[in-house]
Amino acid sequence: MIRDLINNLNNAKILQTTYLGNFIYDENFPRELSIQLDEFTIKEIDFKLNVEKHRWYEISTNVYELTLKNKRYLLGIRGASQSYNEMSSWIDFSVTYKFMEMEETKIISYKIKVETNE
């Protein structure tokens, strides 16, 4: 189900005209795909991942949790997320959204153990 939706979204080659976090309201977003997404409960769970900086803007990935009938999917959307030029609009960057299925990963990290004088 989610793979078909992702394929449909990518095949539409949607040119970005708004901030990445507002992708669903983008004027170029096809109505039939918007209807498909409306079936899900959508929640943003992470943003500005894998940042790629360009001269006037940056591209990154936002991650959304899509829930339908107690089934959870993770959807990544890559697009322009930051503009460094006040004179440019989002469409000036000619970025096409890229949609992908995501998976959650756990990262192990370490910190200094605080010792007490006991």
Q: pTM higher than 0.75, yes or no? A: yes
- Is 92 part of a structural domain of the chain? yes
Whether the Cβ atoms of residue 75 and residue 93 lie closer than 8 Å to each other: no
Beta partners for residue 99, in sequence order: 77
pLDDT digits (tens, 9 = 90+) for 30-74: 888 888 888 999 999 999 999 999 999 999 999 999 999 999 999
What is the helix (H) or strand (E) element at residue 100, kind and residue range?
strand 98-101
* 112 found inside a domain: no
Domain that holds residue 40: 2-101
116 domain residue, yes or no? no
Query: What DSSP string runs through 37-80?
Result: HHTSEEEEEEEEEEEEE-SSEEEEEEEEEEEETTEEEEEEEEEE
Q: Quick check: is 46 in a domain?
A: yes
Q: Is 107 inside any structural domain?
A: no
Residue 100 CA to residue 9 CA, distance in Å, equals: 9
28 is a domain residue: yes
Share the mean pLDDT of the chain.
90
pLDDT for residue 20: 81
pLDDT above 80: residue 117: no
Number of domains in the chain: 1
110 belongs to a structural domain? no
Q: Is residue 114 part of a domain?
A: no
